[in-house]
Amino acid sequence: MDTYEEHSPHRSLRQELEEACLTGNIRDHEVPATEEVIRAIESMYVDGVPRAWWLELRHVVHRQHSDDDQSYMGIEHIVLQYCDPDMRANQKLLFIVDEDNERHHVLALTLDEMVHVIAECRFFEYYICSNDYGWLLCENEHGEFIICKRSGLDTA
């Protein structure tokens, strides 16, 4: 992952995300009604109003720590092992970027596209969610992956 110093302080994270999509030839990444998506995920997976979602996640089924600066390279393995073993390589998922615990950007990306975007941008915490909101994966600032899955009995 690029170091923060390599990024211009005048570029917003949103600009970095857009540029990473351009350099990765990533198209069709827009998610309509992003505020509704964010509210839906929060209502299903987050208790209260924490400064960062990962501090108050519900339905945690697995935690895994990594000291590797490129831990994001392993997200496909984690998703296939703990979230969706039958996921297709070209399947788009919700990629939620947490910008300083104040705003979230939501993109529709494949796992390979996510790896490219993460590698091209400054550090940020992120969440990956299935389109049916059945599972949520987080990588936080401590190199911890947190996997949450909703039970079949749980309703939003």
Residue 101 has what pLDDT?
Answer: 63
Strands 60-65 and 144-149: antiparallel
* Predicted pLDDT of residue 153: 40
- More confident of the two residues 100 and 60: 60
Tens of pLDDT, residue by residue over 24-55, are 999 888 898 999 999 999 999 999 999 999 99
For residues 58, 61, 63, 64, the Cα torsion angle rounded to the nearest 10 degrees is: -150
Q: pLDDT digits over 66-121, tens only?
A: 877 777 878 899 999 999 999 998 999 999 998 876 678 999 999 999 999 999 98
**Can you give the pLDDT at residue 104?**
86
Closest CA to 124 of 31, 23, 48, 53: 53
Overall pTM > 0.75: yes
As a whole number, mean pLDDT of residues 145-155 equals 74
